[in-house]
Amino acid sequence: MVIELRGCFHGGIYSVDPSLVKIDFSSNVNPLGVSKIVLSSIQKDLRSLSSSYPDPECRDLKKSLSDYLKIHCECINVGNGATEIIHNFARMFAREKVIIPSPSFCEYELASRRMGASIILVPLKNFNLDADLIIEKAKGSDAIFLCNPNNPTGLLYRKSLKTIIERLDSSTKILVDECFIELVNGSNRHTMIRNIDEFDNLIILRSLTKSFGLAGLRLGYSVSNPRLAKKLASGQISWNVNGIAQRAGIVALRDSQHLTRARAIVKKERDFMYSNIRKKTQCFSPFKSDANYFLIRLTNHNSSTEVRDSLLTRSGVLVRDCSTFSGMGSKYIRVAIKNHGENLILLNALESIES
């Protein structure tokens, strides 16, 4: 059987001509970047980390994650970015029927289609989960992907997420993608990690790439009950996480203040950008968000691709064209929260293309 795969498009400087990009607002990573402590540790031991094989079981990193999350090591799997775990989850569980809310992260659909699964895209209702509709569509499904906060909308699913998980049949495996949740204020109140013992079909996905600014090193992990963790591990390739990434993760988890500072910046700057885009522009309508990024609806005749290209060529600012998200159409862009100086540049760039 030949499977025709739809394209899965991402942001980042390599989505366009990288030589044009001065500031990348299309990638949603920690606005502080990599902590100095992490950089110092890698630089100090770069030779030995580069010349030695990494631990194929990531034991020290799992121990650090165990201490950080206060859960057993047996509940943790580590991946070469969260994307590897998404594809591994699909390989293990997404065999016939898969449920994906739409719009959401495209890798869920790509990974499931590669396994030959039938995909049911369930539209969001005003960018929120329609719990009753999802539960109805999910009958007889193998797996479901739920992103919290959702990408690209930036919204947390609060009561609706728990309702869905409680009412789904236990045979349906659930991946809750929390890759952006650690940059949300009060993230401990919203995470489902504490529910892995309550629901034996639940897997939580996290990303050190996003939370700790390690995008170039690719580092993600999942949390589940030990039985599911063992099943996921059986599908991993050997040495899937390099030694530099493992070291970076271990050291990053020790620097709790880095994440605390980042959350404060995200909250302050997100409020600033939302307020000022509404006040100072006519053609850009921002949406409220819980995450370190937010959506903007275009209210004039320009398409999201045209706006992205205009911002890039005129100001060197790259935003995420959301027309490649399923069900989004051509009237939305997504922007990451950066530091105040960079956010001012984006604000001025948005104003300039209106004039």
Question: Do 107 and 203 lie in a common domain?
Answer: yes
CATH number at residue 156: 3.40.640.10
Question: Do 93 and 112 lie in a common domain?
Answer: yes
Residue 222 belongs to what H/E stretch?
Answer: strand 220-224
Q: How confident is the model at residue 266 (pLDDT cuts 50, 70, 90)?
A: very high
Q: How confident is the model at residue 7 (pLDDT cuts 50, 70, 90)?
A: low
Q: Is 158 exposed, middle or buried (0-12, 13-18, 19+ CB in 10 A)?
A: middle
pLDDT at 282 over 60: yes
Cβ pair 64, 41 in contact under 8 A: no
Total domain count, the chain: 2
Q: What's this model's pTM, rounded to 2 decimal places?
A: 0.95
pLDDT at 3 over 70: no
Task: Name the 3-class secondary structure at 225.
Answer: coil
Question: Do 195 and 315 lie in a common domain?
Answer: no
CB neighbours (10 Å) of residue 124?
19
Nearest CA to 101 among 130, 126, 136? 130
For the beta sheet containing 332-336, the strands, ordered from the edge strand earlier in sequence to the opposite edge, are 284-286, 293-298, 332-336, 320-321
Question: How far is 351 from 355, CA to CA, in rounded Å?
Answer: 7
Instruction: Say if 1 falls within a structural domain.
Output: no
> pLDDT tens for residues 126-172?
999 999 999 999 999 999 999 999 999 999 998 899 999 999 999 99
Instruction: Say if 3 falls within a structural domain.
Output: no
Q: What is the mean pLDDT of residues 40-67?
A: 96
pLDDT (0 to 100) of residue 354: 87
What is the span of the domain harbouring residue 287?
13-33+257-354
pLDDT at 1 over 50: no
Question: Do 68 and 142 lie in a common domain?
Answer: yes
> pLDDT tens for residues 293-323?
999 999 999 999 999 999 999 999 999 999 9
Among the residue ranges 5-9, 120-124, 177-181, 206-210, the one predicted with the least confidence is 5-9
> pLDDT tens for residues 161-219?
999 999 999 999 999 999 999 999 999 999 999 999 999 999 999 999 999 999 999 99
CATH number at residue 342: 3.90.1150.10
Question: Do 58 and 150 lie in a common domain?
Answer: yes
Mean pLDDT of the chain: 95
Instruction: Look at residues 216, 236, 254 and tell me which one is the last residue of a structural domain.
Output: 254
